[in-house]
Every structure is written in structure tokens, then in C-alpha cells.
Structure 1
Amino acid sequence: MTQRIHRSIDSPLRSGLNREELWEADDKGLIKCWEVGRQRAARFPDLAQQCRAGELPVLGWKGGVSRSLKKPEKYGSLKYLAQWQGLRGEDLDVDLAQERALTCSQTGMVVTFTPDRAKYLNQTAEVES
């Protein structure tokens, strides 16, 4: 089994799948997150533009930043990364075994998207201002 999850942006959105197929299959829900990102891009073009500009806005998964924090780096979920790729109109391309660091063009924060849930669940929560 490959650890890399890839889908072309030209792939149609899936339908008729149950919860287990969406969230507990080999892709760990990343395809669904990416599809939600694609749908949100159509509904929220300003949000999609922020993502295309390299910003990491706050979304429903850990990984977004609304401001610079004292510590210039943090961890985020691969689900955030998948949704962000969908919002940008990109192919889904996430490796379930690798970390990937991105720098937010708005805040300068470095977010490392990781398959290790403990890394982003145990960090101090960002307080929205």
C-alpha cells in the first residue's frame, strides 16, 4: 500500500459514499477534505484567493494561522493540507508518512503538517483575537 494520496484536480467529486468509506479508508479522509476544499473554493472565492496567495487561513482543521505567535512555528493536520490544496485548485498530493512545512505568506509562521496527531494536539492552542 502506498503512503502517498494523489488525485487529479480534474477528478469528479465522489458521491454516495458512507462515513466509513469517506473517513476510515486508506486515504484517512484526505480525499474528502480535499473535495470540501474544492467546494469551498467555489462558494468562497476570497478564501480560495488567500490560499492561492500562500496564506494559511484558519479552517476547520489544525494548521491555519490568523496572526504571528511568539513561537514562529507550529504543527498542523494533513487534513488541513488536503483542504488547502483543494481550495487552491491543486491536485491532491499528500504523503501519509511525511511531514511537509509551509510558510504563511501573511504571517510568516511556519506550519509543519504532520501525520503525528500528538504533535498538533499537544501544542498550546492558538487564541483567536
Structure 2
Amino acid sequence: MSQRIHRNIDQPLRSGLNREALWDDHDKGLIKCWEVGRQRAARFPDLAQQCLAGELPVLGWKGGVSRSLKKLEKYGSLKYLAQWQGLRGEDLDVDLSEERTLTCARTGMVVTFTPDRTKYFNQIAEVES
């Protein structure tokens, strides 16, 4: 069953919500991550440009890459994906039940964004290539 979380980029940022509404509601915090990405895009246009160019820069959630590693594949958080979409000025469009794979245009690293936290928390330490 699809658990798609979608918000249009034209919708205003939400305000006045408590921690539970922001992080523990049906969207699992994805809307908040996307809103933070939208805000960061306005404050950090260079970061937004990197995202628009297809790069996966290091952000506050697992999924960003700063360099190529020996193993060119890794896992990342759906929260990263939501923030990245906000930085790009895109609609939020994430399915809580599916994985989505992107390739960083700068490093060539392949990142699979997954709802399974054990995949990205249990990754073996990254080794430089």
C-alpha cells in the first residue's frame, strides 16, 4: 500500500505546530524536512544550486556524499530526500513504503533512500578510494 507524502511547492510553510505534530504525525517529519529545505534554499543559494545540478551534498540527515568511496553505493534517509526536494524548489513527493535511488552528479555515488533505518545506520564505515 502506498504511503505517499505529497505537498505542492506553492503551499505556505506551516507554523504553530508542536513537536508531535511536526515529527510524529503520519508524514514522519518529512514535511518539516522539506520545509527546512525550502528555507535553506533561500538562505544558501549555492547549496540550492548544487542540489539543482543533481548533486547530493552533505545535509543534516544521512544520504549526502562529500567524496567518492570505494563502494559506490550507500543508503540514506527519506528525510534527506525530502530536504533535498525542498532545496531544489520541488513539490514534496516521497513514499514512506518505497526506496528511491539517486546518483550524485558530482561524485557518481549511488544513494538509495530507504524507509528502513537499519540499512543506513548499520553501514560499514566509509573508506576513501
Match in the other structure for 2:80: 80
Q: CA deviation at 1:127?
A: 7.3
Scaled by the length of structure 1, the TM-score of the pair is: 0.96
Matches within 5 A, 1:87-106: 87-106=87-106
**2:73 touches 2:109 (CA, 8 Å); kept in 1?**
yes
- Structure 2 distance, partners of 1:16, 1:24, is 15
Match in the other structure for 1:68: 68
Amino acid at match of 1:36: V
Matches within 5 A, 1:1-129: 3-126=3-126
Amino acid at match of 2:83: Q
- Structure 2 distance, partners of 1:108, 1:48, is 19
- Structure 2 distance, partners of 1:22, 1:124, is 31
CA RMSD, Structure 1 to Structure 2 (Å): 1.4
Q: CA deviation at 1:125?
A: 3.8
Equivalent residue pairs, number: 128
CA deviations on 1:54-83 (whole Å, 9 max, x unpaired) are: 000000000000000000100000000000
SS across alignment from 1:80: helix
SS across alignment from 2:55: coil
Structure 1's unaligned 5+ residue stretches are none
Amino acid at match of 1:113: F
Structure 2's unaligned 5+ residue stretches are none
SS across alignment from 2:61: coil
Sequence identity, in percent?
87
SS across alignment from 1:16: coil
- Structure 2 distance, partners of 1:101, 1:83, is 15
